[in-house]
Amino acid sequence: MATSSADDATLEAFGVDLDITVAGAFFAGAANTAALILGLWLLKKGVRRGYRRRREVQELRHQADATPTPAAEPAGRDIPADDPVSDQADAPPDPATQRPANP
């Protein structure tokens, strides 16, 4: 409970003077305390969430490591290795055989 007081106080910070009542200083301090408590609570919640998320990712990685994976099959067409067309498909185009763009 705040008692009424007509006394003014002067707050001075960073070269700025601020005239404020004693009750105003009290309520400003109470608001700052509430903001500090709220900030600490949010920080606590964030740390707990991060810990749970890291633990879940670690468990999922362990599960993925324990799960056997099927043998990887090559993607693409089944082309024999000695096929001359398949060798040309991967080679860059020969500029001597291409037509010029502007005749």
- Residue 18 in domain: yes
Give yes or no for a contact between 35 and 24, defined as CB atoms under 8 angstroms apart: no
> Which residues of the chain have a pLDDT value below 50?
1
Number of domains in the chain: 1
Q: Which domain holds residue 17?
A: 8-66
Looking up tokens 């324990």 gives: 66
Q: What token pair was written down for 101?
A: 């763009």
pLDDT confidence of residue 96? 67
- Residue 15 in domain: yes
pLDDT confidence of residue 60? 93
Q: Is the pTM of this model over 0.85?
A: no
